[in-house]
Structure 1
Amino acid sequence: MPEFTDAHGIAIVYDVHPATTVPRAVVQLIHGVGEHSGRYGALIEALTANGCTVYAGDLRGHGRTGMKQHGDAAKLGRLGPGGLGATVDAIWRLAEIIRDENPDLPLVILGHSGGSFITQIVVNDHPEAFDGFILSGSALRMPGWLRTGGHNKPWDGPDASGLEWLASDPAVGAQFRADPLTTEDSPMKLFGPIEVMKVFGRPRKNLGHDIPLLLLVGRDDTVGGPRSVHKLADTYRTRSGLTDITTLVYPGARHEIFNEVMQADVRADVIAWLDKRFPARD
């Protein structure tokens, strides 16, 4: 598995999954807080089978990167020196590597949850570098529109696991809890209030690059939910000047739509969106 060293000396681990047909695009996959890229196997398989090479890294403090960084699973999720800024910088460094290695292919960045907030920041900083972006389980990064805790409140009760907010299938929460490379600690506990506040912000005004955007959200998602995602779409239109924005809301789905009971439909929607904008090559 390849890796690179960031500005603070942290080894960032990532995988390259080559397209199994003629490549037509590259997808840079950014996972969420407390998890790792290994949880996206079905999505990666669908993308590579449909002409997309996928670069999937583990964020600072997370997954294999976190184990190399901390050497202790109890510390997973802690970003380390440089905090959120250094985490964003590492994502941009990987984007540069992808561009260098695939100069003739369009680059689409796909972020889920916390990874979607990082994606928003990276696109603000480097809009010209991306040919499309996909945000899953996202939200407008403003107080009142983004919840940083209390996600399981609608399902709390004496028999609740505390992970019902992830997906309607209880097996998803059970698998998350059993995974040695995940943590259930909240962003506030992992990062601290100062770093969490750095997540907040808005889409950049006048991006100057009209990037296609796909927004995916479960109707019962408690991180942002449809109301926040629709507000995010409107902000990208009116503030950033984007014109090609698609928002898909999945009834009965919670936060992890790529692990939900309708996950095959979600993957098919992603492929169809890519097909329209980045056609297959002969």
Structure 2
Amino acid sequence: MATARLWEFAGVRGAITAHAWHREDPRYIAILTHGYGEHLGRYEHVAETLVRHGAVVCGPDHLGHGRSAGEPVLIEDFADVVADLHTVVESARSDHPDLPVVLIGHSMGGMIATRYAQLHGRDLTALVLSGPVLGRWDALSALLGLDEIPDIPIDPDTLSRDPAIGKAYTEDPLVWHGPFKRALLLATDACMRQIGEHGSLGDLPTLWIHGEDDQLVPLDGTRTGIEQIRGTDLTERIFFGARHEVFNETNRDEILSEVTAFLDRALPAR
């Protein structure tokens, strides 16, 4: 089992905790970006799969998330989060200057990864987006239309068909179980608009995976965003019956195999 090493650096708005999983003789770098309200520690099994596949893996707990500094889930400008992510990428590249870099983002992390790819795509070999917040997110519009954000936590049953995932999520002290904050919602809306205005990812190999029964970030809304960023090398995989956290779904092994098979096609021959 790969063991994560934690390290800390000065982010744009405070100290950021990053995770790193190492292996001998890696053939690529995989950067993970987690979703809203969670932390990268929930991706241990994803990191282990990627390490077995040949990667060194790293990624941050975003500002206001997990072990990183900041008021919980308060992000006022996602440019700050993208800049923190760039620090992690550059650190990994300095340790392994000859290795290709792939970026894997889930949900809000998929939005962050997409914006990063638009700004720094020349430094990436591949991009994987899991249930990304892109295009149209009706829940966002509905919440911003309210005078007061209701204190309604995310329903853990919407995460996965595996009840153990919802139970672990509910009991995780590093997960935020409170309401959305208006500043984060406004920043999310602004970032989604920036992504749409920037447009195509060009020839960057991109894999989009999504649960067909995703009730948190519905498929149809994300599809409008995928069409905005679609480049010349997009692969789409929609998993019937799967909910929001496809990496935690009952068929997670199948889904992670799709990811590693895609990476094998995108990575240069060793």
TM tier, smaller: 0.7 to 0.9
Check the 8 A contact 1:17/1:53 in 2, yes or no: yes
Letter in 2 for 1:116: G
Aligned match for 1:112, one of 106, 111, 114 = 106
Query: Quick one: structure 1 residues 104 and 179, their matched pair in 2 at CA, closer, same or farther if it must change by over 3 Å?
Result: same
Check the 8 A contact 1:76/1:182 in 2, yes or no: no
Give 1:47-66 correspondences, 5 Å limit: 47-65=50-68
Q: Identity of aligned pairs, percent? A: 30
Q: How many Å apart are 1:226 and its aligned residue?
A: 3.1
Give 1:64-213 correspondences, 5 Å limit: 64-65=67-68, 69-70=69-70, 75-79=71-75, 83-141=77-135, 144-145=136-137, 147-148=139-140, 162-189=155-182, 191-201=183-193, 202-203=195-196, 204-205=198-199, 207=201, 209-213=202-206
Check the 8 A contact 1:147/1:222 in 2, yes or no: no
1:116-171 per-position Cα deviation (integer Å, ceiling 9, x unaligned): 11111111222212111111011433xx44533889xxxxxxxxx93211112222
Q: How many Å apart are 1:211 and its aligned residue?
A: 0.6
SS at match of 2:103: strand
Give 1:33-52 correspondences, 5 Å limit: 33-52=36-55
The CA distance in 1 between the partners of 2:9 and 2:171, in whole Å, is 29
Letter in 2 for 1:184: H
The CA distance in 1 between the partners of 2:269 and 2:8, in whole Å, is 29
The CA distance in 2 between the partners of 1:252 and 1:94, in whole Å, is 34
Q: How many Å apart are 1:235 and its aligned residue?
A: 2.7
Q: TM-score with structure 2 length normalisation? A: 0.84
The CA distance in 1 between the partners of 2:95 and 2:58, in whole Å, is 11
Give 1:217-228 correspondences, 5 Å limit: 217-228=210-221
Check the 8 A contact 1:33/1:113 in 2, yes or no: yes
Q: TM-score with structure 1 length normalisation? A: 0.81
Query: Quick one: structure 1 residues 162 and 217, their matched pair in 2 at CA, closer, same or farther if it must change by over 3 Å?
Result: same
The CA distance in 1 between the partners of 2:257 and 2:223, in whole Å, is 21
**Matched length:** 254
SS at match of 1:12: strand
Query: Quick one: structure 1 residues 212 and 270, their matched pair in 2 at CA, closer, same or farther if it must change by over 3 Å?
Result: same
Aligned match for 2:250, one of 251, 261, 272 = 261
The corresponding residue for 1:5 is: 10
Letter in 2 for 1:87: V
Check the 8 A contact 1:167/1:259 in 2, yes or no: yes
The CA distance in 2 between the partners of 1:275 and 1:210, in whole Å, is 17
Structure 1 unaligned regions, length at least 5: 152-160
